[in-house]
Amino acid sequence: MGADRRQTRNEAKEEFESATERRLSLLLNHASDAILVANCHGKVIYSTDSFARIASIGESVYEVVHPEDAPDFNVAFAKAEEGAATVDVEVRVRGRDCKYRPHALTLVNHLDVPSIRGIQITYRNISERRAFEEAMSHRDLHDALTGLPNRALFLSRLEHSLGRNRRAGSLLAVLVLDIDNFKVINDGLGHASGDKVLIEAGNRIVSTIRQGDTVARFGGDEFTVLLENVQTPADAYRIAQRILAAFTPVFVIEDRSVFVGCSLGIALSTRSKDDSATLLRDADAAMSNAKLNGKSRIVLFQNSMQEHALERLELENDLRQAIELDHLDLQYQPIVDLKSQNIVEMEALARWTHPTRGALPPMKFIPIAEESGLIVPLGEWVLRHACTQAVQWIEEGIAAPDLIVCVNVSSRQLAQPNFTHLVAGILKETALPAQNLKLEITESTMVLDSESTIAQLYGLSDLGIKIAVDDFGTGYSTMSYLNSLPVNTLKVDASFVSRLGGEGQAEAIVQAIIALAQSLNLEVTSEGIETELQADWLREMGSDLGQGFLFSRPLNINEAKLALLKARKGNQAEAA
């Protein structure tokens, strides 16, 4: 009886253990993690069904590990064999489809456990985690808009390249590229269009470089290029020329044709200059030099440019102070009726006498104002003072009541949302009639063709203000732009006038511009007239007004007053 009870208990125990083992086996075989057990030589003793789903393994645990990861796995297995509690390692494991996928392995030593007598290895597929980590790493090292390497990745690659170059004794070049007038594009067409310009610019730069070179968006509208294995400065210059040429075709942004230029600076490594900060500083200084000398050009760094960069920074700070403290001056250049020779307009021109550098030519400080954004407060200063002066001349009887004062307006000013309101406020403040003001814009401003620019120009025109296109013939204007904007005057650029009577097609170009203006009922002002012969030709061609040293150089306030008085008396004498 007792023996039967013992046998029953043993059978029940065996059944319980068997059921437990079956449940455990079922759980293990359906677990997401795969498990196998190997002896101390790596021979497989046992593997779960879940392992068979991820890999096809033979006799050894080593055969599914990627050859490049085998050293790491061998070290982990040896540690587990020596008795480490648990050992973790990440390796690539070959799947049943013969593709390797990343797995996290945990090795546990069960050699002393009688029922196991081996090393348990748990395999967990970490492909999704790795993909997420790589995506995060890519995001941290790449520009979200253009997909190009960002500042951090560029600097890292530059440092590594400099290290290789030191060992090999080779050279590399750094290019810094800045899109010309990007703020105008961004403000005029909107930030969404500005983003598309940046994306297209990045694509065009990438299309020009060699395999192995790096293009990065450094920030804003600034891009950098790392050129490795450069033999001579000419090699870097040729690539820069390709980049510049890639910007020649128009950018088509939302069915608009936008002309986009860029300025490039180049700096090359040398034995005495092989740190990243110096190279970037020098390339940036060269790029700034390119902008200050006309934009859309390439400049190779020279040591003197660093001094120029410091000078530019000082001038920018001094100019900001001069605007704030009203330490600027205006000169006025008369514009005459070519038939009567009477002064009908006065163009206001900003002048700056620096406290230590003396009188600075406009080309010395206007480009700095454009690049720094100071052109906006400077332009407002010029407009307010020019309107005030015109009213004073008219009220004192020095000038005729219909005298027009002309003021240049930059594209950055016109891109300000409140510009029309600002001009209207200045007219009201100074009491100058709107018809006595003419604002001169450039062709590049017209080509933007943005809704905000067009709205601004029509708003100004609705006030009664006249609009002139300055330096006409040097840009990209077409009939469609002239038809779509409220333009009153075309100003023929001085470069064409100066070549009249010489070789080339200047005469034909001037004649064509005048004919175009006449067909659109626009007034024509010819700039840069220096000889009587030029004045005669332009008068015969049909130019209405003329401006240049033949009639007068730019005049200070007192000289302008005398010129207007003389002209007024002459007109009154003729009338009498």
**Predicted local distance difference test score (pLDDT) of residue 273:** 66
- Whether 363 and 351 have beta carbons less than 8 Å apart is answered as no
CB 455 within 8 A of CB 419: no
User: Which residues is 109 bridged to in the sheet?
Assistant: 119
Residue 81 to residue 65: CA distance in whole angstroms: 18
Identify the CATH number of the domain in which residue 50 sits.
3.30.450.20
In 240-287, DSSP assigns E strands to 251-253, 256-258, 262-268
Pairing mode, if any, of strands 437-442 and 466-472?
Answer: parallel
209: which DSSP letter?
S
Quick one: 283 and 330 in the same domain? no
Residue 22's pLDDT is what? 46
Taking CA atoms, 133 is separated from 89, 216, 435, in Å, by 17, 22, 65
- The answer to whether residues 338 and 545 touch, using CB atoms and an 8 Å cutoff, is yes
**Separation CA 2–CA 49 (nearest Å):** 42
Q: Are the C-beta atoms of 228 and 182 separated by less than 8 Å?
A: no
Tell me, rounded to whole angstroms, the distance of Cα 453 from its chain centroid: 21
Specify if 524 maps to a domain. Answer: no
> Where among 131, 163, 189 does a domain terminate?
131
> Could you tell me the CATH number of the domain that includes residue 343?
3.20.20.450
Residues 266 and 294 occupy one common structural domain? yes
Identify whether residues 233 and 287 lie together within a single domain.
yes
Q: Would you call 163 exposed, middle or buried from its count of C-beta atoms within 10 A (0-12, 13-18, 19+)?
A: exposed
Amino acid code (one letter) for 454: I
Looking at the structure, do residues 327 and 434 belong to the same domain, yes or no? Answer: yes
Looking at the fold, whether 260 and 370 belong to one and the same domain comes out as no
Helix, strand, coil percentages for the chain (3-state, nearest 5): 50, 25, 25
CATH code (residue 174): 3.30.70.270
Q: Within 13 Å of residue 179, how many CA atoms lie on the same side as its CB?
A: 31
Count of alpha carbons within 13 angstroms of residue 458, beta-carbon side: 11
Q: Is residue 503 part of a domain?
A: no
Q: How far apart are CA 360 and CA 499, in angstroms?
A: 28
Q: Is residue 125 part of a domain?
A: yes
Check whether residue 95 and residue 163 sit in a common domain: no
**Domain boundary, last residue among 79, 108, 131:** 131
Backbone angles phi, psi at 192, to 5 degrees: -65, -45
Whether 119 and 149 map to the same domain: the answer is: no
Q: Give the dihedral of Cα atoms 185, 186, 189, 195; nearest 10 deg.
A: 110
Q: Cβ distance 223 to 215 under 8 Å?
A: yes
Q: Is the residue at 521 inside a domain?
A: no
Give the residue among 525, 531, 573 at the shortest CA–CA distance from 551: 531
Strand partners, 439: 407, 467
Do residues 288 and 315 lie in contact, with contact meaning Cβ atoms separated by under 8 Å?
no
Q: Can you read off the two tokens belonging to residue 263?
A: 């300025």
168 and 213 housed in the same domain:
yes
Question: Is residue 124 located within the same domain as residue 148?
Answer: no
Spell out, as residue ranges, where the chain has pLDDT lower than 50. Answer: 13, 16-17, 19-30
Claim to verify: residue 169 and residue 115 sit in the same structural domain: no
Name the residue range of residue 214's domain. 142-302
Interval 336-358: pLDDT, tens: 999 999 999 999 999 999 999 99
Q: Could you tell me how many helices (H) and strands (E) the chain has, helices first?
A: 21, 21
**Do 344 and 404 contact (CB within 8 A), yes or no?**
yes
Give the residue from 248, 277, 302 where a domain finishes.
Answer: 302
The pLDDT tens digits for 533-567 are: 999 999 999 999 999 999 999 999 999 999 999 88
Query: How far apart are alpha carbons 432 and 466 in whole angstroms?
Result: 13
> In this structure, is residue 167 part of a structural domain?
yes
- Would you say residue 502 lies in a domain? no
Q: Look at the chain and report how many structural domains it folds into.
A: 3
Q: What is the pTM of this model?
A: 0.64
DSSP assignment string, 48-96? -HHHHHH----SBGGGGB-GGGHHHHHHHHHHHHTT-SEEEEEEEEE-T
Whether residues 249 and 372 share a domain: the answer is no
Rg (CA), the chain: 38
My answer on whether 418 and 557 are in the same domain is yes
DSSP letters spanning 445-467: HHHH--HHHHHHHHHHHHTT-EE
Task: Decide if 501 is inside a domain.
Answer: no
The enclosing H or E element of 438 equals strand 437-442
Take residue 335 and report the two structure tokens written for it: 């514009």
Report the relative pairing of strands 545-546 and 44-47 from DSSP bridges.
unpaired
513 domain-assigned: no
Beta-carbon contacts of 128 under 8 Å, excluding residues fewer than 6 positions away, are none
Determine the 3-state secondary structure of 185 from DSSP: helix
Q: Are 121 and 37 in contact (CB under 8 A)?
A: yes
